[in-house]
Amino acid sequence: MLEWLRDNWVNLLGLLSFILTLVGLGIAFVQVKKARTAAEAAKEAAEATQEALAKSLTIGDLKNAIALLEKVKSYHRADKWEVAIEWYQPIRAALAEARARYPGREQEQTRQINAGIAQMTVMGNVVEQSLRSGQLPPTNVKVIVERLNSIQSSLESLVSDLQMTQSRPKG
Amino acid sequence: MANIAEIAKLVLERTKEGRLAWEGTADENSYLATLGNQSVRISRGSLAGDEYHFFSVLNKDGREIETLSTTPDDAYSNWILEHVYATPIDKNTLPIIFQLARRRALEVDKELDELAKVLNAR
């Protein structure tokens, strides 16, 4: 046995060295994987935080626009056209803010916001023309309130979708 | 480079195919369809007893960026079509878009189908 060891110690050392190298590689592999997983987890957490923040801010913008729409509706119902028209631009601005922040800039959702902005523009033109010509109310108040309701309902649906994805865990 | 006359023709095609979601507006003679960042608006008006149509493109902020009209004295529309775009457009394009948009926004076919069902059931 001793004789065999004496003859083969170099080979044994080589084999041992090879095994140790393999073990070392294995340990290194596990450590790299752990580090990568930790880095990925940190990146994912940062992205999730950013997305949650964007959702929260967008919900705030949309809710602000909804509150302004409610206010405008009440002015229209009270025949306060000159006051109502002053709030059209802030509504468009709130919608533009929501669009700019919308998480992922989803096409259909931003299209809905753009549709709301376009509708507010047409409505604003109608009211302004009527104010200039002194023909008030410009059109059936019901039609204007219906349009405002339609925009509001579309925004409420966007808020609801955002809130649902906000409370749902990712993945 | 696309121009508004070409856009009007494409809008007519897509409307015929039922691929544009037209909506009514606060102006009963005006309909809107929003596609991505832009919207198109078709309107009808009258001047000295004559009916005319406007076709406009609105940007994402609702600002009208280009307009085409069928009024004979619309020097701007005539000039841009003849000198800038040199794109002939059928004079019926805008009136047809208007009628199709109105039908789509008011869901005329659906309403008529429902009415037919009620009448047939009597």
User: Are A118 and B32 an interchain contact pair (Cβ–Cβ within 8 Å)?
Assistant: yes
Please tell me the distance from the alpha carbon of residue B42 to that of residue B30, in angstroms, as a whole number.
6
Q: Which among B28, B30, B34 is the nearest to A115, CB-wise?
A: B34
Take residue A15 and report the two structure tokens written for it.
């084999």
> pLDDT value at position A133?
81
Number of Cβ within a 10 Å radius of residue A60: 15
Contact B98, B44 (CB under 8 A): yes
How high is the pLDDT of residue A49? 86
List B45's β-bridge partners, or say none: B52
What are B52's strand-pairing partners?
B45
Q: Which amino acid would we find at residue A90?
A: P
CB contact under 8 A, B58 and A121: yes
pTM comes to 0.76
pLDDT tens figures, B39-65: 999 999 887 788 889 999 999 999 999
**Does residue A126 contact residue B27 with C-beta atoms inside 8 Å?**
yes
The predicted structure's pLDDT at residue B114: 96
Angstrom distance (rounded) from CA A98 to CA B14: 29
Q: Angle at CA B59, nearest 5°, toward B57 and B62?
A: 95
Please report, in tens digits, the pLDDT of each residue of chain B (122 residues total).
788 888 999 999 999 999 999 999 988 899 999 998 999 999 998 877 888 899 999 999 999 998 888 776 666 666 666 655 556 677 789 999 999 999 999 999 999 999 999 999 99
pLDDT of residue B86: 58
Structural domains in chain A, CATH included, are: 10-167 (1.20.120.660)
Name which of B25, B28, B36 is nearest A119 (Cβ-Cβ): B25
In angstroms, rounded to a whole number, what is the distance separating the alpha carbons of residues B61 and B54? 19
Q: What is the pLDDT of residue B30?
A: 94
- Give the separation between CA B32 and CA B101, rounded to whole angstroms: 8
Residues of B in contact with A121 (CB under 8 A): 58, 62-64
Give which of B34, B37, B40, B65 to mutate to test A binding, by max A Cβ within 10 Å. B34
Per-residue pLDDT of chain A (171 residues; tens, 9 = 90+): 777 777 777 777 778 888 887 888 888 888 888 887 888 888 888 888 888 888 899 999 999 999 999 999 999 888 888 999 999 999 999 999 999 988 877 788 999 999 999 999 999 988 888 888 877 665 667 888 899 999 999 999 999 999 888 766 554
Task: Tokens 């008011």: give the residue.
Answer: B106
pLDDT of residue B76: 62
ipTM for the predicted complex comes to 0.80
Contact A115/B36, CB-based, under 8 Å? no
